[in-house]
Structure 1
Amino acid sequence: MAMTGQNVCQMHGGKAPQNLAKAKERITEQRAAEIVATYGRKIETTATEALLDEVQWTAGHVAWLRERVQEIEAGEVSGADGEHPLVWGKTREKRGGEDFGTTEEAAPSIWLKLYQQERAHLVKVCAEAIKAGIEERRIRLAEQQGALVAQAIRAILEDLGLSPEQQARVPDVVPRHLRALAS
């Protein structure tokens, strides 16, 4: 029977160093392929969409981590000596061996570290989005869409052949309905 990651058994060369090395490489590649299949896959997108998605996902991560930090903050001060849980706590716990036990020391909470890292990442992706001119493009697109809507409304009103009295009401009626759409 062939050894794991190989085409041969141990009796026919499976224990040879080069075969063991190749088997290890094949197993690693197979595990990597399995991880990629579960972690992520190629999707159709554009650079602009991907950057905007990253801004939005990162903003969500920051908000979620902020909640975790605020939960710790809500617990306020813990311990007899008034140590704050965001900067003092368990940093290591080892079971077994001569150096077993729990270590507590002053160090930033992992939640605080993750929050700070994600905030820095958010600033970075926002800066990249600004540098790429995405917001300006979105504004131009919204302005173009607004101009098209206004042009369509003018054409509709013209085709209706409104009376002078009805035409006088247009400046009040149309904006009111457009504001209702926006809210």
Structure 2
Amino acid sequence: MKLGIPVETNPAEALLHAVWEAAGNVEFYRQLIQELEAHPEEGQYSEDSEGKTHYRPGKRGIYGETYHISGIPTGEATVHVLVQLYNEERDRLVKYSSEALRAGVEERRVKLAESEARVLFGAVMAALAEADLSFQQQESVRRSIAMRLRSDPIAAS
């Protein structure tokens, strides 16, 4: 695996894949965030045997304390890095989705599917004509295909 290997695509396809990837990333981060506590655990001060005070930070939640370089809390809070990544990815998903809508990607996909359906229908009709079937048999096959396509959402998409 190397970065920068060319992959043949078209702009609409690339944009659609970017939308799908961003949507997957949003779901991934959402699941990780749901495992975080809502509020951080409080840190603890303690003294060692020499009388030195030490601070043990508490476990972060969706936000947590910020610390001075010395390790002492500053009193400010920041969001967890996963929340930052989640928010950035949601923004990216909205951006790509908006760009895809502006570019008419979904409309192009529908037109492509319609075109593919016409080609498939033409091939089926030609095969039926060549199969030396009676008119009733051809009609029966056409109705059966139409019924199956209407009842199977995967086949219909």
* TM-score, structure 1 as length reference: 0.61
1:112 aligns with 2:83: yes
Q: Match of 1:144, as an amino acid?
A: S
Q: Distance in 1 between matches of 2:94 and 2:155?
A: 29
Structure 2 residue runs without a partner (length 5+): 43-59
- State which structure, 1 or 2, has the greater radius of gyration over its C-alpha atoms: 1
Q: Match of 1:135, as an amino acid?
A: E
1:124 aligns with 2:95: yes
1:3-53 Cα deviation digits (max 9, x unpaired)? xxxxxxxxxxxxxxxxxxxxxxxxxxxxxxxxxxx7x32524433333223
Quote the offset at 1:55 in angstroms.
1.5
* Structure-2 residue corresponding to 1:135: 106
Relative CO higher for 1 or 2, CA cutoff 8 Å, sep ≥ 6? 2
Structure 1 residue corresponding to 2:66, chosen from 76, 91, 116:
91
Looking at secondary structure, tell me which structure has more helix per residue: 1
Aligned length: 134
Identity %: 33
Contact 2:62–2:79, Cα closer than 8 Å, also in 1: yes
Structure 1 residue runs without a partner (length 5+): 1-37, 95-99
Q: Match of 2:35, as an amino acid?
A: E
Structure 2 residue corresponding to 1:101, chosen from 57, 67, 71:
71
Quote the offset at 1:170 in angstroms.
2.5
Instruction: Give the stretch that moved more between structures: 160-169 or 52-61.
Output: 160-169
* TM-score, structure 2 as length reference: 0.69
Q: Distance in 1 between matches of 2:147 and 2:98?
A: 37
* Structure-1 residue corresponding to 2:55: none
Looking at secondary structure, tell me which structure has more strand per residue: 2
